[in-house]
Amino acid sequence: MAKKRGKSNAVKKSKMEIHRVAHYAFFVGLLIAIVAGLFRDVFSPQVLVTTLVILGFFVGLFNLTAKETTPFLLASIALMLAGIVNLGLIPAVGPYLRSILSNIVVFVVPGAILVGIKTIWRLASD
């Protein structure tokens, strides 16, 4: 019986480690989105978008628990809708705000897609 508990603890520890790495990936992705928005002429758009999408998928796969699903999807919708606004019209800081928000949307959308699919799958299987 002790061996089964050991395996269970090892699985829980492994899941906790992946969750922690995904948690850090979220903050790294957010930081990259903000820094790349501030220094928008420095970063290659292809590398930036690829990096943000990969980090977004990783976060969507491993970071969210069941109780975090609804707030994450709601926040994702809010960010996507905010991305529609033309913040570039604001003098001086507008282009930077638009670039930052666009990067954040690129980062969040892959996770939102995965979480949405997981949610639909759970609802369909109940």
Instruction: Write out pLDDT tens, residues 29-84.
Output: 999 999 999 998 888 999 999 999 999 998 888 866 777 788 888 988 998 888 88
Reported as a pLDDT band with limits 50, 70 and 90, residue 22 is confident
Exposure pattern of 30-57 as b/e (b: 16+ CB <10 Å)? bebbbebbeebeebeeeebbebbbebbb
Share above pLDDT 70 across residues of the chain, in percent, rounded to a whole number = 86
Q: Is pLDDT above 70 for 107?
A: yes
Question: Residue holding tokens 């609802």?
Answer: 123
Share above pLDDT 90 across residues of the chain, in percent, rounded to a whole number = 35
**pTM exceeds 0.85:** no
- Residues 6+ positions from 18 with CB-CB distance below 8 Å: 62
